[in-house]
Each structure stands twice: as structure tokens, then as C-alpha cells.
């Protein structure tokens, strides 16, 4: 691995164009080569070589996302920590790449998983509510990522393709060969199935850890099925302050109300009693949200 400035700038540009832009602007996302911990933490050094026009378009959409929950006109540029977190997402997605390793190199998957976890541990949580909002504006759509898988069946066999279209040769003479194609979308949270050398919970745990690095996004998707929301130091830090509590309440209101109330109540119960202050914060916030949603629903029903 090289730490030369030109090489870092090149990798950062790849990450901006192939991962960040589609994540924020929409469109096909194409993970690039894994970064690993060391290179990911150096990416911020290459920010001067980024595509400024693309960056401006990304920033416009980031502000729109932030305005859904806060009256802001601008957001700070992505920091070195944000780029490192984006690299961690890229590497997490590469875990689902079944062409990443061959029969003799399947140990790459557990090593890459360990690298993703180590990197997430090194990415600092947002230092304040403004930073949490800025980071959420970047990663708000992360759980909308999906992979399209295809299953092709014909008269003499079948073949499956993960994230790739079937080759044209398999689709020839469809009626004669009784060719049937079944496509399905696989959400990010479900991409951990079938990774060589890893169990689905391994991938889910890594994704859950990644989510804690962008706590407002974690709260904004709290009603998801997998990985289930759990209070972390970073999400508790957000709701421990009045401005953060207000933002967290707003992102929760954008989710199904009954599920939001149930999720917060369940997550508060799961905070170990030995963490008294953390549990108190979680319980009080869950109660406030439940009361606020009840009042809103009553007013809505009376209108």
C-alpha cells in the first residue's frame, strides 16, 4: 500500500465518484477496492484533488436532507472522519462481493470484516449536534442500498448471480430452453447471507457498529428490522442535550409512530442496569417520545 499523496488523492476520487455520489444523489453504487484501516484514515489528506463540481452537487442534496429536520442553509465539508466512515462502508459492501476471493483465499473475508470493525472503532463519533446532523446528511440513505440478484433456470440446470446480470448466453432461445429469470432485491441489512467464512450475524454486527458512527442516522432508521436498534454511547450523547433531543425526536416522527415508541421502549429495557445514567437517559427519552407521539396522534384524530 502506498501513502503517496497522488495515490491517496486517486483513491479518494474513486470513492467520491463511485460510492459517495450515488449514495447521496442516487444511482448505481459501485464499491471500489477495499481501503483497510491505514489508508482510510489518510483519505482526508487528498481532499484537494476532489471533483469540485460533483462535490457541489452532493452538498446541495446534503443540505436538502438536513433541512428535513433542521433549518440550515449550509453544512460543513466532509471531514477526514467522514471519509474514513465512507471507506468503512465501501469495505463493508465489499464483504458481500463473492468475487473478492477465490477458493484458496477465502480468509480475506474474515480479515476484511476485522478491518471494518477496527476502522469503525477508530472513527470518532460526532463531537456535537451540528456534526451529527452533517454526517447524517451524508449517510441518511445508507439502508436504502440494495443489490439485485438473479436466478436463471432452464431445462438442464440453473445458476444464480449476486449483484450481476445473467450473461446473455444463458438467456438465448428462451422458449425452446424453457428459460425463466427471477430477480429480487436484497437490502443492505440482508447482504450478509452467503459470505464465505462468515455468518449473517457477523455482518449484521459490523453494520450495527458502523451505524453508531453516524448516530442521527441510527436514530432515523431505528424502526428497521435488522440490525435492531440499540442505544450506544454516540446515540445517547445526541439525546443527552436539548438540541440533540429535538433532532432525534424529529427523525423519529418520520417513522411509523407505533414502531418508534415500541423500539425505544425495548432498547431502553436492554440497557444494562449497571449503566444507570445511560439507562435513565434512554428511559426518559423513550417516555418523552411516547407522550409526544400520543399527543400528536390524538390531535390528528380530532382534526
Q: What is the pLDDT of residues 3-33, one digit of tens each?
A: 688 899 999 999 999 999 999 999 999 999 9
Which residues, 6+ apart, have CB-to-CB distance to 210 below 8 Å?
85, 88, 89, 92, 116, 120
Select, from the ranges 97-111, 148-162, 230-244, the one with the highest average predicted confidence (pLDDT).
Answer: 230-244
Q: What is the pLDDT of residue 302?
A: 67
Taking residues 140-151, report their average pLDDT.
Answer: 92
Q: What is the pLDDT of residue 178?
A: 86
Given a cut of 90, whether residue 149 has pLDDT beyond it is no
- Measured CA to CA in angstroms, residue 113 lies from 40, 96, 110, 280 at distances of 14, 11, 5, 33
The C-alpha cell of 245 is what?
Answer: 433531543
The DSSP code for 70 is: S
**Burial category of 253 from C-beta neighbours within 10 Å (exposed 0-12, middle 13-18, buried 19 and up):** middle
CA distance 47 to 291: 45
Q: What is the pLDDT of residue 104?
A: 42
Tens digit of pLDDT for each residue in 99-135?
775 544 568 899 999 999 999 999 999 999 999 999 9
Tens digit of pLDDT for each residue in 64-93?
999 999 999 999 999 999 999 999 999 999
- Measured CA to CA in angstroms, residue 110 lies from 100, 121, 145 at distances of 12, 17, 22
CA distance 100 to 162: 12
Q: What is the pLDDT of residue 105?
A: 59
Instruction: Measure CA of the first residue to CA of the last residue in the chain; give whole Å.
Output: 63
Which residues, 6+ apart, have CB-to-CB distance to 7 below 8 Å?
none
| Residue percentage of the chain with pLDDT more than 70 | 96
Residue 61's φ and ψ, nearest 5 degrees, are -70, -35
Tens digit of pLDDT for each residue in 181-209?
888 888 899 998 888 889 999 999 999 99
CA distance 192 to 116: 14
Q: What is the pLDDT of residue 133?
A: 98
Nearest to 231 by CA among 265, 255, 259, 201: 265
CA distance 112 to 34: 8
Gyration radius of the chain over CA positions: 21
Domain residue limits, the chain: 147-188, 222-303
Which residues face 179 on adjacent strands?
Answer: none
Task: Tally the C-alpha atoms within 13 A of residue 24's C-alpha that lie toward its C-beta.
Answer: 28
pTM over 0.95? The answer is: no
Contact 80, 44 (CB under 8 A): yes
Encode 114-149: b = buried (16+ Cβ within 10 Å), e = exposed.
ebbbebbeebebbeebbbbbbbbbbbbbbbebbbeb
The C-alpha cell of 71 is what?
Answer: 433549518
- Measured CA to CA in angstroms, residue 132 lies from 41, 77, 203 at distances of 19, 13, 24
The band of 303, judged by pLDDT with boundaries at 50, 70 and 90, is: low
Amino acid at each position: 500500500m502506498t501513502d503517496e499523496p497522488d495515490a491517496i488523492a486517486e483513491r479518494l476520487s474513486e470513492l467520491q465518484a463511485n460510492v459517495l455520489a450515488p449514495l447521496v444523489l442516487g444511482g448505481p453504487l459501485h464499491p471500489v477496492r477495499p481501503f483497510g484501516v491505514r489508508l482510510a484514515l489518510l483519505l482526508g489528506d487528498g481532499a484537494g484533488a476532489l471533483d469540485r463540481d460533483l462535490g457541489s452537487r452532493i452538498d446541495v442534496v446534503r443540505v436538502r436532507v438536513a433541512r428535513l429536520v433542521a433549518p440550515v442553509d449550509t453544512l460543513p465539508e466532509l471531514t477526514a472522519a467522514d471519509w474514513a466512515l465512507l471507506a468503512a462502508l465501501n469495505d463493508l459492501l465489499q464483504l458481500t462481493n463473492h468475487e473478492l476471493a477465490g477458493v484458496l483465499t477465502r480468509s480475506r473475508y474474515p480479515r476484511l470484516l476485522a478491518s471494518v470493525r477496527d476502522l469503525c472503532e477508530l472513527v470518532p463519533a460526532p463531537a456535537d449536534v451540528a456534526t451529527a446532523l452533517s454526517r447524517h446528511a451524508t449517510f441518511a440513505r445508507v439502508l436504502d442500498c440494495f443489490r439485485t440478484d438473479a436466478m436463471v433456470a432452464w431445462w438442464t440446470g440453473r445458476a444464480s448471480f449476486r449483484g450481476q446480470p445473467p450473461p446473455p448466453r444463458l438467456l438465448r432461445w428462451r422458449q425452446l430452453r424453457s428459460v425463466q429469470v427471477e430477480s429480487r432485491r436484497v437490502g443492505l441489512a440482508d447482504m450478509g447471507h452467503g459470505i464465505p467464512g462468515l455468518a449473517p450475524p457477523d455482518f449484521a454486527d459490523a453494520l450495527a457498529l458502523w451505524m453508531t458512527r453516524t448516530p442521527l442516522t441510527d436514530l432515523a432508521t431505528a424502526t428497521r428490522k435488522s440490525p435492531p436498534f440499540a442505544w450506544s454511547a454516540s446515540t445517547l450523547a445526541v439525546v443527552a442535550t436539548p438540541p440533540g433531543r429535538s433532532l432525534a425526536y424529529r427523525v423519529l416522527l418520520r417513522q411509523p409512530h407505533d414502531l418508534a415508541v415500541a423500539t425505544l421502549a425495548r432498547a431502553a429495557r436492554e440497557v444494562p442496569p449497571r449503566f444507570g445514567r445511560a439507562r435513565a437517559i434512554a428511559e426518559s427519552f423513550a417516555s418523552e417520545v411516547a407522550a409526544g407521539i400520543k399527543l400528536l396522534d390524538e390531535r390528528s384524530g380530532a382534526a
